[in-house]
Amino acid sequence: MQVSFDVPRHLMDKTDILLDRVPYLSELILAMSYDQDDQAVNLTLSEQDGDSPQMQELRAAYMELCSSLELTRVIKERVVKSNLETAYERPAEPQGKRAAGLPYMEEFDILLLHKLDVEFTRIAQSHGAKLREYPSVLSKQNMMKNQYHLHFPQNIFGVASVPHNYKAINQFRMQAQQDAYEDTLLFEGEILQPCICYHCYEELQGTRSSEPRVLTGKGKCFRHEIQWRKDNFRRREFSMREIVYVGKEEWVVQMRQQIMEEVWRLFESFGLRGRIATATDPFFFSQDLQTKAAYQMMSNAKYELIATTSSGKNVSIASFNYCQDMLCSKYDIQGEDGAALHSGCVAFGIDRWKEAFMDRHGCDLASWPDTKPEKEMLI
Amino acid sequence: MTPPQLTSLEESIRDELSAILGKKIDLETDAELKEEGVDSIATIKLIINLEIRFGIQIDDDDMLIHNFSTIQAISSLLSEKYDVAS
């Protein structure tokens, strides 16, 4: 069935924030659109009974969400780099564009992901980064430190297992034979990593050094995206490379700036279009939006590189973060003077870079800038 | 040495800070607020309270951390750009 919810007058300048959160109100929701003329959110639902308890719960949750956003202050982004205004010759339709939504990678995707990561790794290593590879799972102890799950619970994927217990193993098998094993799995707080950087902080935990340190790691990351919002840019499982830098305040700020400049040059060398602008993390709760998100915007704590696709879609493909001493305080990472160090990270959504590249050039590595020898090697 | 006399605007800002932090604040006007425990949450609360108190809306372009780093910086912003009497 279809339902429409009016957007309250006090949220007219916050519709983006509202629309980002509505899909999480209920699993009944199968699709959503916004009618700007009627100022209403239109939902397609799996429920047929408009008076069912689930529908009443959805209406109440919508009201509560609207009410909680009332005091949220929206600070507009500050654009620090953009090539959207420069003359742009729209390229011919790229060769070999593919339909969206393939649930696996083909050879070209894999080659392109690798080539992109070579570039990101080169940038990291030019700043002295040490290479790392971490497990895909974050322990409960690590989660308690980073508190990601408290601020972004909507993204969490937990890891469950069959307990090593004779009775429990039998129980699992019996339930599995009836296609109903879910309740026999045990969840002990391990979370599939939503990003890489918390492993780096865990590695440096408890250390005392005034020497700047840079680590870089790549891995599969996992976020519980809503099924019907998934597309080539928004996946539940994706590859990310992060560069984490820890040191004195001035050095950390400078490091972020340098990497941002290099990444922008790389972005432009691919012929991609977009901007770098201040941004906030996608905090779920209004209390965090009112405080942490607003403070992030005020302190330029986060910049995002937002690619604009040929269809006009805007997609964040990298972020450049300055965490002040917050994470080093939590992980007890100090300088020799006993004060918590400062830190930051740069994150590359490698799959999104791939999609942005393919949107511009199709499946054609001839457009890769100045990499003839490597191209020949790969093809 | 006798500390310099605070303007009424600086006193108002200090009062708001005291209310938010739940303790009497007796800061030099050029002291960094973050060193005194004014974190992100307290900063945002301070801005909202000052907007209500003086009936103003601070522009997005002025929502920069250095504008709210000291009592003096806040006072300058409010008096020079928003005509709040000092």
How far is B66 from chain A, CA to nearest CA, in Å? 8
Decide: helix, strand or coil at residue B57: coil
Residue A326 sits at the chain B interface (C-beta within 8 Å): no
Can you tell me the mean pLDDT for A156-174? 96
Residue B1 has pLDDT above 60, yes or no: no
Can you tell me the mean pLDDT for A278-289? 85
Between A219-228, A278-287, A322-331, the lowest mean confidence (pLDDT) is in A278-287
Q: What percent of chain A has pLDDT over 70?
A: 93
Residue A259 CA to residue A322 CA, distance in Å, equals: 12
Ramachandran category for residue A366: left, alpha or beta (phi over 0 → left; psi -120 to 50 → alpha): alpha
Q: Which of A151, A253, A295, A329 to mutate to test the interface with B (most CBs of B within 10 A)?
A: A295
How far is A69 from chain B, CA to nearest CA, in Å? 15
Can you tell me the mean pLDDT for A1-21? 91
Residue A374 has pLDDT above 50, yes or no: no
In this prediction the pTM is 0.88
Each residue's pLDDT tens digit, A45-80 = 998 888 899 999 999 999 999 998 887 888 889 999
Can you tell me the mean pLDDT for A216-232? 91
Instruction: Give pLDDT, residue A351.
Output: 96
Residue A66 CA to residue A294 CA, distance in Å, equals: 18
The backbone torsions φ and ψ at residue B35, rounded to the nearest 5 degrees and listed phi first, read -70, -20
The dihedral built from the CA positions of residue A77, B61, A262 and A87, taken in this order, carries a sign that is positive
How far is B45 from chain A, CA to nearest CA, in Å? 8
Q: Could you tell me the two tokens for A294? A: 């607003």
Instruction: Give pLDDT, residue A320.
Output: 98
**Mean pLDDT, all residues of chain A:** 91
Measured between CA atoms, the residue of chain B closest to residue A278 is: B64
Q: Which of B34, B44, B64 to mutate to test the interface with A (most CBs of A within 10 A)?
A: B44
How far is A75 from chain B, CA to nearest CA, in Å? 5
Residue A10 CA to residue A70 CA, distance in Å, equals: 7
For residue A170, what are the CA distances in angstroms to A160, A179, A185, A211?
Answer: 17, 14, 12, 54
Which among A10-14, A101-105, A106-110, A261-265 has the top mean pLDDT?
A261-265
Each residue's pLDDT tens digit, B66-80 = 999 999 999 999 999
Does the beta-carbon distance from B44 to A294 stay under 8 Å?
yes
Residue B13 has pLDDT above 60, yes or no: yes
H or E segment and range at residue A189: strand A186-192
Chain B residue set in contact with A, beta carbons under 8 Å = 40-41, 43-45, 48, 60, 63-65, 68
Please state the ipTM of this predicted complex: 0.78
Instruction: Give pLDDT, residue A378.
Output: 46
- Strands A274-278, A237-247: parallel, antiparallel or unpaired by DSSP? unpaired
Each residue's pLDDT tens digit, A349-361 = 999 999 999 999 8
**Which of A76, A73, A66 shows the shortest CA–CA distance to A11?**
A66
**Between residues A123 and A296, the one the model is more confident about:** A123
Q: Could you tell me the two tokens for A304? A: 């995002």
Report the residue count for chain A: 379
